[in-house]
Amino acid sequence: PNKGNRGGINGMALEPSFLFSNDILQIAIPEMLSQTGITGRQFAHLLIRAHQENHQNHFPDLERAAEEVGLKRLNLSVEDLIDIAKSMGLDIRWVDRAPQDVI
């Protein structure tokens, strides 16, 4: 598949298909990551970047939801975040001490 124009390779055919079944990949990917020293977190970031590239980093539903909640404001202050939380129906309470059952 030729999906993106950035990154390492543009894609590769996963043939023969029986070698790329979910069962085989679930065994092979952790082994490959272990042998190459790539952490699960690094692999997750790679998958996220590939997903974004595949969709040209355009997620209208997420962008619309973020605009509705954050009103396109950047560098939000603590007060702004509290206001957003309250508008979403959340109740924020500050804790000064640990509960008695924890002590």
The radius of gyration computed from the CA coordinates of the chain, to the nearest angstrom, equals: 22
- Range of 31's domain? 1-58
Q: Do 84 and 34 contact (CB within 8 A), yes or no?
A: no
Residue 68, φ and ψ in degrees, nearest 5: -65, -40
> Which has the higher per-residue pLDDT, 35 or 102?
35
Q: How far apart, in whole angstroms, are the C-alpha atoms of residue 42 and residue 25?
A: 17
Tell me, yes or no, whether 67 and 42 share the same domain: no
pLDDT at 10 over 70: no
Same domain, 27 and 70: no
Q: What mean pLDDT comes out for the span 30-54?
A: 85
| Phi-psi group of 50: left, alpha or beta (phi > 0 → left; psi -120 to 50 → alpha; rest → beta) | alpha
Query: Residues 30, 69: one domain?
Result: no
Question: What average pLDDT does range 3-27 have in this prediction?
Answer: 73
The mean of the pLDDT values for the chain is 79
Judge if 53 and 14 occupy the same domain. yes
Do 43 and 82 fall into the same domain? no
Domain count, the chain: 2
Quote the pLDDT of residue 64: 76
**Same domain for 48 and 64?**
no
pLDDT for residue 9: 57
CA 69 to chain centre: 19
